[in-house]
A and B are shown apart, each in its own frame.
Chain A
């Protein structure tokens, strides 16, 4: 048992904090948000130059290969600054899956560009009423030299910027994981404005031709890839939530210490300070279960249950902390000129993404039932 943060990781955190702070003043964020998508290419390039886009990419492809845990540390800092940087869909879901499941040729094609920041590969994991990429409704029909993919993915990040979108579809009972060019014939991208304030895209595919060279995995390996992507992406969202929630809570501590009513700081009312103390407890719990899931994934150990539990805590913490933070800020908490709202909206977006608390609690409950029914001698 060792909860220590290794030195190399601590310096990654410091570096990331410096860069992210430099690029996320209120003026800079407002300027980025006047355009769509919510993405800052200069920040992305600065992260690339500092080696932060290649934390979980092999050295031969220009990365530093510090591993999955290091990327979740970066995700936490991106959350803390609510930075317009698509670290989860590009670095975790796409690059993380490619380095573990793609062919050498595919890795050589895409990973160096991702590490250098010169190109992006994004991911599309959710469909209408279905956020399980191991059981997509999208169809992949085998053709000569590849597959024809049809179906609709929703809330896709970086769809207008990325060169490829990593997604899954099914060919009968067989799962197919493919890199789809979002500019290919048969694709319709429709902008979707979501709660976080970002413009994401619906990606409708009508018999889109995907050549063999862009097929990442088929069958059992494809299932393993999508199980990995689900656990790794959920856990990375949890890490981002740790940063978001920690910042919301600290902003609320500071605000209530400054804000005076009835002739005294409102933080001196226990009714207020205790609500913020409850946020502290939630954030601590989320941090612990997230660290556990991230370290298991980092070591390549089984992490299904740990990532489910972390994402349940993530949804609950997002809800409670974002509501408490806005409540304690009063009208200031919903004022678009004050920074808090960005954190709250981003938190609610993550709360509902890739499995929410109710749904994952049901999944966890059903696997507990399976476990205990299997061990029942009667």
Chain B
């Protein structure tokens, strides 16, 4: 039992941290002030994403025959953790969730087009799962794809299609068997080029970043853009969920907020003299955050390590999702309390603390507990898979 990064792993951590400092250029930081470009998509973002591709940083976890380096899950986690810490809008779902599935199941021509494009840092893929009436109960989705000769014709609407405003493709789940008995078994995956006729996108302005509603009005695409078997889509969707979760609740992004607030409170004058950090209630909040962070750090490492040993235990994966999301929200509050009212000043307003980073996270934090698989369903999974309790009804 040894719960520490090895010297090589620490070296990788430092290397990525240094490299990402060069990616977060002043021009990119300026560009990201635009609400619509916060999650990428602007020219400077495109430039830096392509630079990461040219420098060989994209697809490190992929197999060698795909051009990857077959990093272990622990190394991949270290990379992910550092990239998220840097604040770069790296499209993890494109590189880690979609592309390996596309590489394994797509038509050869599409595979070359997409995999090479992603590797060069030129291609971004948006996820088209949720619909206005299909969220947690995803398998009830209604967007349909019908065969017409060598083509498919797609009609329907997707919701919360983040990045679709600048993505090159939508990774779309569509119903190909209308039989209502075949809920999960009637779905097929497609890659829809956003340049296709009949595709459109309107912004949805959330408390945080821009996301989108996307519309499919007789979108006609050739069969080569179908990925995997007809009616075999559910397996492709669920196979990448664990990978997705490993990039949601990483330690570095919140550890840097903790460090930032601790440093700020050590430099800021407190009431009645001394520094703010000398106040007992400030120390209490920082200690509670530190206590939770330590469990988060080891949990992330153990998840990544376990994925290198074999399939991830379902109850443990759901535990990480619930603990991570609820702790993030708690941490935002505990840290923001330290700053008091000044903590509520948004980025770019005079007096904003830590460039308003914490204010932003605190404001939009509730997305975490339902996004990525709502916590009620995760708790159901824990009770069933971890404790052998019967299904709730």
Interface positions of A (Cβ within 8 A of B): 1-6, 69, 249-250, 253, 256-257, 264-265, 267-270, 273-274, 276-278, 280-281, 284-285, 288-289, 291-292, 294-295, 298-299, 306, 309, 312-313, 361-362, 364-366, 368-369, 372-373, 375-376, 378
Contacts and interface: CB of A to CB of B under 8 A. Distances in A.
Contact of A295 (B3, B282, B383): B3
A3 B3 contact: yes
Given A4-B1, A253-B388, A270 B265 contact: no
A373 B276 CA distance: 10
B104 interface: no
A280 B266 contact: no
Interface string B353-393: 00000000000000000000000100110110011111111
Given A1-B301, A284-B319, A372 B295 contact: no
Interface in B248-284: 262-263, 265-267, 275, 277-278, 280, 282-284
B307 to A, nearest CB: 12
Contacts of B322: 277, 281
A257 B315 CA distance: 18
Contact of A281 (B6, B288, B306, B382): B382
Given A274-B376, A280-B382, A284-B319, A5 B262 contact: no
**Max count, chain A CB within 10 A of own CB: residue among B266, B283, B284, B389:** B389
Contacts of A295: 1-3
A15 B282 CA distance: 47
Interface in B41-90: 74
Nearest to B266: A372
B196 interface: no
Contacts of B299: 284-285, 288
Contact of B392 (A269, A294, A378): A269
A277 B375 CA distance: 11
Interface centre among B1, B298, B388, B391, by most chain A C-beta atoms within 10 angstroms, is: B1
Given A1-B74, A5-B1, 6 more contacts: A1-B9, A264-B393, A273-B383, A277-B383, A313-B295, A368-B277
Contact of B380 (A6, A250, A273, A365): A273
B286 interface: yes
A295 B2 CA distance: 6
Nearest to A292: B3
A244 B380 CA distance: 23
A373 B390 CA distance: 52
Given A1-B74, A288-B302, A362 B5 contact: no
A8 B143 CA distance: 56
A253 B266 contact: no
B319 A361 contact: no
B50 to A, nearest CB: 33
B283 A277 contact: no
Contacts of B294: 289, 292, 306, 309
Contacts of A3: 1, 3, 302, 305-306
A277 B389 CA distance: 10
A365 B376 CA distance: 33
Contact of A276 (B262, B284, B306, B387): B387
Contact of A253 (B4, B263, B383): B383
B291 interface: yes
A373 B277 contact: yes
Q: Which 4 A/B pairs are nearest by Cβ-Cβ distance?
A: A365-B283, A365-B287, A253-B387, A372-B266
Given A1-B305, A372-B262, A257 B3 contact: no
A4 B2 CA distance: 8
A257 B388 contact: yes
A257 B384 CA distance: 11
Contacts of A69: 1
Contacts of B283: 362, 365-366, 368-369
12 contacts: A3-B1, A3-B302, A253-B389, A280-B387, A285-B295, A295-B3, A362-B283, A369-B286, A376-B263, A376-B267, A376-B275, A378-B267
B333 interface: no
Contacts of A2: 1-2, 305
A36 to B, nearest CB: 36
Given A368-B286, A373-B266, A289 B298 contact: yes
B41 to A, nearest CB: 36
Contacts of B266: 369, 372-373, 375-376
Given A289-B295, A376-B266, A273 B389 contact: yes
Contacts of A375: 263, 266
A313 B3 contact: no
Nearest to B274: A373
B287 A270 contact: no
A373 B275 contact: yes
B316 interface: yes
Contact of A268 (B290, B315, B392): B392
A284 B389 CA distance: 18
Interface string B309-326: 000000110010011000
Nearest to A312: B291
Contacts of A5: 1
Contacts of B316: 284
A136 to B, nearest CB: 25
Contact of B2 (A1, A278, A280): A1
B245 to A, nearest CB: 15
